A and B are shown apart, each in its own frame.
Chain A
Amino acid sequence: MDVLNIQDEFSNKTLKLSEESFLELKEFVYQQSGILLSDRQKVLLETRLSGRLKTLGLENFSDYVKNLKSPEFYHKEKAFLFEAITISESSFFRDANQIRVLQEIVLPELFENAIQQQASQVRILSAGCAAGEEPYTLAMVIKEKFSSYTSRIPVHIIGVDINSTNLEKARKGVYHEYSMKNIPQEYLQKYWTRDGYHRVLNDEIREMVEFKQLNLLHLNKDSSMSRFDLILCCNVLLYLERQAKVQVVQNLYDALNLPGYLFIGQSESLHGITQAFKLYLFQRAIAYKKE
């Protein structure tokens, strides 16, 4: 018996997540965060969390799920859990469907609208922008595909995050290659220069985005954080407790123009959090519209 245990300890075998524990975990995560795990993620979670379970001294997933239900444990474990779930290291061009929908439908609509309304600018907010990957992705897309609009109306892109280290990195615009794997070749050639294992973003794109340190809970207290036509807030809400989530979503709603769009992360849901928005379905993407 002892011998077996020792062998187990030293083998790198991943732990198995039973169907039952997976369903329980899926429900729990959905209730807590609004993220719906797909069945396909089961194996991924086994690989990603096995090491974590061993560090915690847990022998199986059933105990892990049981522990998660204690608020103190969950509070401490959240960061690890969601890192495993969301593939959340931010990267450029992360959600291809979302970008396609923005490019083909939403951005043209917003530009047309703003010009028709004789607005002074089109305003975009990346709420929880990490090290700038999301707002810079938008900036590149707009530079590349919407010059016929931007010559008629200026675009103002703002990225906010609570973490100042992130923002410092964002302002520098220097990234390791691993966050760049989805950037289309034509964008890489046009807007980036290489520096060893790093790539440096050109000034013309960097200058399109303004960064600000801010807690989304206090968005409503900063008057400059308003009149946005488009807000992206991806993989941020899942970390918040329900009450905070409601407050942040309300803040985002208030910060939007009429009409204005809110996009959240892939497989994130606002069900039960707000009824203020109209839900719009696009091809493989959803958006919340204030109208």
Chain B
Amino acid sequence: MNLPRSIAQKLDSIDTIATLPNIATEILEIMRKETSSMREIARVIEQDPSITAKILKVANSPLWGYSGRVENIQRALVLMGLKQVSNIVIAISLYSTFAKLKPNPFFDRKKFWLHSVGTAQIARKLSKQLKVNFYGEEFVAGLLHDLGKMLLDQFWGEEFKKLIEQARAESNRILVKERQEFGCTHAEIGAYLLQKWNFPKPIVNVVHFHHTPSRANADQELIGLISLSEMLCELWGVGFDEDIKSTSLSNNWSWKLFKSRFPEQLRNFDVERFLFEMEKEMENAQLFIELVKD
């Protein structure tokens, strides 16, 4: 990742974000191993009662829709999958770190969460429709795709605010303004930090390329999934200054990729129905936020 030196230096030097929460570091480490055991993951999660409680709340919610109560982390790991749970733990721990930071008044954090979780929910639904298992990476990638915006707000608040106002006034895309002002975009800034934290490469790639999916050399399906999900979220009315007003699916890069890779699944895909049902996904996103907040 080539960030302008001054930007990288600032990101490297800030204490609050220089270190990832312990639980996330440990889980990432276990996940990097060839074989990660359920007992190991469970032990790490259970050391943190607050995260444990949140995971159980999520597992027992209509979001995952299991019959019967999920009483403990082991059960959640069995039902939801090792990777899925691990990914959610990482996302929750990261966001509670950021929730402690003070946002600028102009940065609507509620809307930011809803946009992030909404994108994650839509990505989950879309991956089910495509019948591709991304093992929960789609969820965490959806949650984190705009991490860079939060960083810009936190550490370049004044400049970022001015930039957004200008973008709005000029009906210019925020990406263009970011590149002019900072020499890089929120996508690159978010990816830089995640890479530094040793996040799995696919997640780093999604964050890096979610606005420019055609430039990615790897993980194209996951990147396409998040890129498309974000756009749908935006068109649903929960956008975050991306200024997407309309799109034709058949001209969309991600859609074309899916059509060529998953022709069978997309042949009878009822797009309209998927769009109507997004209402439910956005309600689910709201529910997820309620479940995991402190």
Interface residues of A (CB under 8 A from B): 30, 36, 38-40, 101, 104-105, 267, 269-272, 278-284, 286, 289
Q: Which of B102-110, B141-149, B195-203, B242-250 interfaces with chain A? A: B242-250
A271 touches which of B235, B247, B270 (Cβ 8 Å): B270
**Chain A residues whose C-beta falls within 8 Å of the C-beta of B280 in the assembled complex:** 38-39
B95 contacts chain A at the CB level, 8 A cutoff: no
A280 contacts B247, CB within 8 Å? yes
What are 22 residue pairs bridging A and B, where the CB atoms are less than 8 Å apart in the complex? A30-B273, A36-B272, A36-B276, A36-B277, A38-B279, A38-B280, A39-B280, A101-B246, A104-B245, A267-B276, A269-B273, A271-B271, A280-B246, A280-B247, A281-B235, A281-B247, A282-B235, A282-B246, A284-B237, A286-B272, A286-B275, A289-B248
Instruction: Pick the 5 closest A-B CB pairs, nearest first.
Output: A269-B272, A271-B270, A36-B276, A282-B246, A280-B248
A281 to B275, alpha carbons, bound, how many Å? 9
B236 contacts A284, CB within 8 Å? yes
A282 contacts B273, CB within 8 Å? no
10 A-B pairs besides A36-B277, A278-B248 with CB distance below 8 A are A36-B276, A105-B245, A105-B246, A269-B276, A271-B271, A279-B249, A281-B248, A282-B246, A283-B245, A289-B248
- List B residues 225-274 near A (Cβ within 8 Å): 232, 235-237, 245-250, 270-273
A223 to B272, alpha carbons, bound, how many Å? 32
Tell me if B's interface is mostly helix, strand, loop or mixed.
helix
**Chain A residues whose C-beta falls within 8 Å of the C-beta of B276 in the assembled complex:** 36, 38, 267, 269
**Chain B residues whose C-beta falls within 8 Å of the C-beta of A278 in the assembled complex:** 248, 250
Tally chain B residues at the interface, Cβ within 8 Å.
19
A278 to B250, alpha carbons, bound, how many Å? 7
**Chain B residues whose C-beta falls within 8 Å of the C-beta of A289 in the assembled complex:** 248
**Chain B residues whose C-beta falls within 8 Å of the C-beta of A40 in the assembled complex:** 279
A270 contacts B272, CB within 8 Å? yes
The distance from the CB of B235 to the nearest CB of chain A, in whole angstroms, is 5
**Chain A residues whose C-beta falls within 8 Å of the C-beta of B279 in the assembled complex:** 38, 40
The distance from the CB of B250 to the nearest CB of chain A, in whole angstroms, is 5
A104 to B245, alpha carbons, bound, how many Å? 10
A279 contacts B270, CB within 8 Å? no
A207 to B273, alpha carbons, bound, how many Å? 38
A24 to B250, alpha carbons, bound, how many Å? 32
**Chain A residues whose C-beta falls within 8 Å of the C-beta of B249 in the assembled complex:** 279, 281
The distance from the CB of A269 to the nearest CB of chain B, in whole angstroms, is 4
**Chain A residues whose C-beta falls within 8 Å of the C-beta of B250 in the assembled complex:** 278-279
**Chain A residues whose C-beta falls within 8 Å of the C-beta of B235 in the assembled complex:** 281-284
A36 contacts B248, CB within 8 Å? no
B273 contacts A271, CB within 8 Å? yes
**Chain B residues whose C-beta falls within 8 Å of the C-beta of A104 in the assembled complex:** 245
**Chain A residues whose C-beta falls within 8 Å of the C-beta of B270 in the assembled complex:** 269, 271-272
A284 to B249, alpha carbons, bound, how many Å? 15
CB-defined interface of B104-129 with A at 8 Å, one 1/0 digit per residue? 00000000000000000000000000
The distance from the CB of B1 to the nearest CB of chain A, in whole angstroms, is 32
**Chain A residues whose C-beta falls within 8 Å of the C-beta of B275 in the assembled complex:** 281, 286
From B232, B246, B249, name the one whose CB has the most chain A CB atoms within 10 angstroms.
B246
**Chain B residues whose C-beta falls within 8 Å of the C-beta of A38 in the assembled complex:** 276, 279-280
**Chain B residues whose C-beta falls within 8 Å of the C-beta of A36 in the assembled complex:** 272-273, 276-277
A282 contacts B245, CB within 8 Å? yes
A271 contacts B236, CB within 8 Å? no
**Chain B residues whose C-beta falls within 8 Å of the C-beta of A284 in the assembled complex:** 235-237
**Chain B residues whose C-beta falls within 8 Å of the C-beta of A270 in the assembled complex:** 272
The distance from the CB of A107 to the nearest CB of chain B, in whole angstroms, is 13
**Chain B residues whose C-beta falls within 8 Å of the C-beta of A286 in the assembled complex:** 272, 275
Residue on B with the closest CB to A288?
Answer: B272
A284 to B271, alpha carbons, bound, how many Å? 14
Residue on A with the closest CB to B252?
Answer: A281
**Chain B residues whose C-beta falls within 8 Å of the C-beta of A272 in the assembled complex:** 270
Residue on B with the closest CB to A287?
Answer: B246
Residue on A with the closest CB to B234?
Answer: A283
A105 to B244, alpha carbons, bound, how many Å? 12
A271 to B275, alpha carbons, bound, how many Å? 12
**Chain A residues whose C-beta falls within 8 Å of the C-beta of B247 in the assembled complex:** 280-281
A286 to B246, alpha carbons, bound, how many Å? 9
A286 to B250, alpha carbons, bound, how many Å? 14
A86 to B272, alpha carbons, bound, how many Å? 17
The distance from the CB of B126 to the nearest CB of chain A, in whole angstroms, is 14
A267 to B248, alpha carbons, bound, how many Å? 18
B271 touches which of A30, A39, A101, A279 (Cβ 8 Å): A279
- List B residues 152-168 near A (Cβ within 8 Å): none
